[in-house]
Structure 1
Amino acid sequence: MSTASLEPGDPHFANGTYDGARTGEVVLTGEAAAAINASEGDSLEVGSSMAAATLNREATSGSPEYTATAIEDTEANGVSGELPIVMLHLSELQSISGADDDDLADQVLVKTGPDASTTAVESAAADAYPNATVQAGDDGQLASIRSNDFALATSLVALIVAVVICSLFVATSAALTIDKDRQTIAVFAAIGFSTRSRLAIVAVTTLSLTLAGALVGIVLGTIGVSVTNYVATATVAPGPIATLRPAFGLYAVAVAVIAGVLALPYPLYLVARTNVVTELGR
């Protein structure tokens, strides 16, 4: 939501005295405006509850205290599923809700633009709020995972389990294929393919199929995430509930390659033990 239609600064705060002039300005989302049948420029009674708003209206003899300065279309600004939100100056909200003496909200989230310097923003925040603790986050990326030992341990266990299961699946599938194609392998030996060449053919084929499976999985995963987000935002969620980063694709390929390499010894062992004479005599 844009604050362009609100008066700059927070005059009611008045250096913590909360006796400055109130701006009497609020910004509504389209959903909030529709809920109370309000339009831009309408006069509103704002309170911490419906009862408080009624008392405020009676105390002011019907004279409204707030004006809807803008109706924001949040859906057009990138929020999936419009939310009923009312925005006003912080000090006025604190006075209305009784939090001007002791506000339980003790955290402020600052989202920087793509060209902003994180260091500069941290420095500016520290200068503006010397008594606050400034922390920089990475929106759930690897750096934030490293700071949580439990999350890191869980990720490593998931990686190990994925590699083991994938390796067993690849080894079993390759072994079944080799058992079915023993005669073909024997023919290769009969026409002059050395043992090393036959092993190389099986190794390349196994790794290629494993990599192809990873690529298919990436495509299906991308489709699954898109469908999940579409269904969620169309039904119960205000925004996407699943995310997909390019690093996930690299992760899938890496797991597939490692699993394929670990699975190779068993099918290669079966190829090396293939008896050419016996297989050709079938």
Structure 2
Amino acid sequence: MGERSARLRGGVELGVAMVIQRLRHTAPRRIAYSILGVALAVGLFVLVAGIGIGLATGDAAVGSNADYRIVPESESSATLPVSVGGPQLGGVHEVGARLGERDDVRYASPVAVTLAELTHGNTTEHVLVFGVVAHPGLRAGGLSSEPLTPGDPHYANGTYGGPKTNEMVVSTGTADLLGTTVGERVLLESPSGAGRETARMTVTNVSVASTPAFDSVPVALVHLSELQTATGDTGRDTADQLVVAAESPAVRDDLETLYDRTEVVARSSASGVGTDGDLALAVGGAGFVVSLVVGSLFVATTTGLEIRRDRRLWATLSALGFSASSRAIVVLVRTGLVALAGGLTGIGLGRIAIAVANAGVDRYVDETTVAVFSPEVALAGLVVSAGVVVITGPYVLWLTSRETAKAGLSA
């Protein structure tokens, strides 16, 4: 047992020493090329897997890094983000404020949707009015809430005694129907419901709805508390859904515990882009196979050339009493170190590639993430490098034995 351990330790030490010697003196380029080959393969896998996770978790949804909607479970996640007259969430201002205090949440806003009557002059039209807690990055009904005063001043910690802004953002379709423009007054009134009030709103912005589904639908955007006051819904503080933009998909687990009988839907799920982990698994699996093949071919080629050049070294080791198993340990240690170095380098390259991809897309679509780097992806990258050793190991062992025999015959 002691002899076997000593032989194993000696083989490992010799393998490490040979890699260091070649890297520092005799063959630095060949070792570097081998490491680079594995690194490129692992880096490719990390990037592809990151994109798969980004798509499947909704991180590639346009408009936020990780955008989620909390909706009553009876609502279909495949429908438009509009619910009028259906189940609602309660105490939404408090829940949204609590979420907004988290470091990993960029903003959280309740969204209420009401079919209201808007009147300008002698024209009255029914319009979908969205009530939100305003944030520059938030869109509802395809309209940006940036023109609204940030937050929801009239709510005033549940007293509904704060100042009313009377601000309203309308779509171009709504402006055309009412014949109104920026700076003009519009009357807002809920067509039904006890305790309703007529609110005199000022149009602060007219814009084209960014969501195709709302191109032909007249919509408007106001502060949530002011919409609740107009509809007589200040007592329950309800909304149809809660939108959360987060820095990490890990937030989703906590969102699922906020309300009973609700569903957390990634924005991409609502738009038909991947509804579960199957997409990530498919994309990541394809990247894993391709990276494994590319890395194995590269290592097999470079290591094979190196073994052929060192055939006399293997014959010398054999003559010195190194058994076939000891020489196999040396070869596997050399290949394993190269693959490990390539795997670690590849993880770094993949992370850089993910950052570059996200930055490139963000130049054209604000606050959009197409790929996600996670510890699980990094661990899978190391599995790729280990797989390279497993696949190429039998080949390099066979080649070492063959070249050793050739060198012995030529000697």
The correspondence for 2:136, drawn from 29, 32, 36, is 29
Does the CA-based 8 Å contact 2:186-2:202 persist in structure 1?
no
Q: Root-mean-square deviation (CA), in Å?
A: 4.9
For 1:47-196, list aligned pairs within 5 A.
47-49=170-172, 50-52=175-177, 54-55=179-180, 57=184, 65-66=201-202, 88-89=223-224, 92=227, 109=243, 117=254, 120-123=257-260, 126=261, 134-136=262-264, 147=276, 152-153=281-282, 155-196=284-325
Question: Structure 2: how far apart are the matches of 1:185 and 1:176?
Answer: 14
Question: Structure 1: how far apart are the matches of 2:242 and 2:333?
Answer: 54
Does the CA-based 8 Å contact 1:45-1:65 persist in structure 2?
yes
**Is the alpha carbon distance of 1:67 and 1:251 closer, same or farther for their aligned partners in structure 2, counting shifts above 3 Å?**
same
**Is the alpha carbon distance of 1:208 and 1:51 closer, same or farther for their aligned partners in structure 2, counting shifts above 3 Å?**
same
Higher relative CO (CA 8 A, sep ≥ 6), structure 1 or 2? 2
Aligned to 1:193, what secondary structure does the other structure show?
A: coil
1:210 alignment partner in structure 2: 339
Aligned to 1:47, what secondary structure does the other structure show?
A: strand
Question: Structure 2: how far apart are the matches of 1:238 and 1:161?
Answer: 30
Question: Structure 2: how far apart are the matches of 1:88 and 1:39?
Answer: 8
Does the CA-based 8 Å contact 1:42-1:67 persist in structure 2?
no
Aligned to 2:322, what secondary structure does the other structure show?
A: coil
Does the CA-based 8 Å contact 2:166-2:226 persist in structure 1?
no
Question: Structure 1: how far apart are the matches of 2:115 and 2:221?
Answer: 24
Cα displacement string for residues 124-182 of structure 1 (whole angstroms, at most 9, x for unaligned residues): xx2xxxxxxx4346899xxxx89565664554344333323332332222211111111
**Is the alpha carbon distance of 1:89 and 1:198 closer, same or farther for their aligned partners in structure 2, counting shifts above 3 Å?**
same
Give the number of the structure whose residues are more often strand, by fraction.
Answer: 2
Cα displacement string for residues 61-86 of structure 1 (whole angstroms, at most 9, x for unaligned residues): xx951498xxxxxxxxxxxxxxxx96
Aligned to 1:259, what secondary structure does the other structure show?
A: helix
Identity %: 26
Cα displacement string for residues 202-246 of structure 1 (whole angstroms, at most 9, x for unaligned residues): 011011101111111111111222223233324444333322111
The correspondence for 2:408, drawn from 271, 277, 281, is 277
Question: Structure 2: how far apart are the matches of 1:59 and 1:257?
Answer: 67
Paired amino acid for 1:199: A
Give the number of the structure whose residues are more often helix, by fraction.
Answer: 1
Paired amino acid for 2:391: L
Does the CA-based 8 Å contact 2:347-2:381 persist in structure 1?
yes
2:381 alignment partner in structure 1: 252
Paired amino acid for 2:369: P
2:351 alignment partner in structure 1: 222
**Is the alpha carbon distance of 1:228 and 1:88 closer, same or farther for their aligned partners in structure 2, counting shifts above 3 Å?**
same
Does the CA-based 8 Å contact 1:178-1:270 persist in structure 2?
yes
TM-score, structure 1 length as denominator?
0.58
Question: Cα offset for 1:108?
Answer: 5.9
Aligned to 1:29, what secondary structure does the other structure show?
A: coil
2:207 alignment partner in structure 1: none
Paired amino acid for 2:258: V
**Is the alpha carbon distance of 1:257 and 1:149 closer, same or farther for their aligned partners in structure 2, counting shifts above 3 Å?**
same
**Is the alpha carbon distance of 1:146 and 1:268 closer, same or farther for their aligned partners in structure 2, counting shifts above 3 Å?**
farther
1:78 alignment partner in structure 2: none
Question: Structure 1: how far apart are the matches of 2:280 and 2:135?
Answer: 39
Question: Structure 1: how far apart are the matches of 2:165 and 2:223?
Answer: 15
**Is the alpha carbon distance of 1:28 and 1:109 closer, same or farther for their aligned partners in structure 2, counting shifts above 3 Å?**
closer
Please state if 1:231 is matched with 2:360.
yes
Question: Cα offset for 1:111?
Answer: 7.0
